[in-house]
Amino acid sequence: MPALRERKDDIPLLVDHFLDTYNCRFGKRIKLESEVITDLMEYNYPGNVRELENIIERCVALSSDSSSFRENLPSHILIKNEDRAAETSLSHVAADAEKEHILKVLKSTRGNKTKAAEILGISRKTLWERLKSYDIAL
């Protein structure tokens, strides 16, 4: 499955789902303004869908009403993309590149993990650990 940053159109649907879930859980009726949806769509989500869910859960839990939701967004969400690139650590860039390469190799081997590990020059166990750490299910 492609990363969330490659499926930006899914973000409003996921936000609605998570908002409904956590409004129900916390007994709130928070609605989002279009400005907040735009902020959420501009972020690249290195943590993928789980990161988006955690952000929504946190904001619903901390917000007293709809107007305070944006105030509770993590500051890195509100930073514009061009500013964010300058703040991205080298380890995050390397991890993203590694994840993308692993996905390409797995696609080329049609999901054969043994062949993929061989091409990548790592053990099958190491590949399994990386898949788990990047939340890649095959």
Q: What is the pLDDT of residue 95?
A: 83
HSE value, Cβ hemisphere, 13 Å, CA-based, for 6: 5
Q: What is the pLDDT of residue 81?
A: 53
Same domain? For 13 and 80 the reply is: yes
CA-based nearest residue to 31, from 60, 57, 52: 60
Same domain? For 101 and 58 the reply is: no
CATH number of the structural domain spanning residue 96: 1.10.10.60
Please give the structure tokens belonging to residue 74.
């993590």
Q: Find how far residue 12's CA is from the centre of its chain.
A: 13
Same domain? For 57 and 82 the reply is: yes
Same domain? For 97 and 121 the reply is: yes
Q: What is the pLDDT of residue 86?
A: 61
Distances (CA, A) of 66 to 16, 33, 70, 92: 14, 8, 8, 32
Residue 126 located in a structural domain = yes
Q: What is the pLDDT of residue 87?
A: 61
Same domain? For 24 and 69 the reply is: yes
CA distance 126 to 44: 26
Measured in residues, the chain has a length of 138
CATH number of the structural domain spanning residue 75: 1.10.8.60
Same domain? For 76 and 95 the reply is: no
pTM for this model (two decimals) = 0.58
Q: Which residues of the chain have pLDDT under 50?
A: none
Q: What is the pLDDT of residue 6?
A: 86
CA distance 79 to 100: 24
What domain count does the chain have?
Answer: 2
Angle at 7 between CA 138 and CA 132, to 5 degrees: 30
Residue 138 located in a structural domain = no
Range of the domain at 68: 4-87
pLDDT digits (tens, 9 = 90+) for 82-121: 565 566 677 777 888 898 899 899 999 999 999 999 999 9
Same domain? For 11 and 67 the reply is: yes
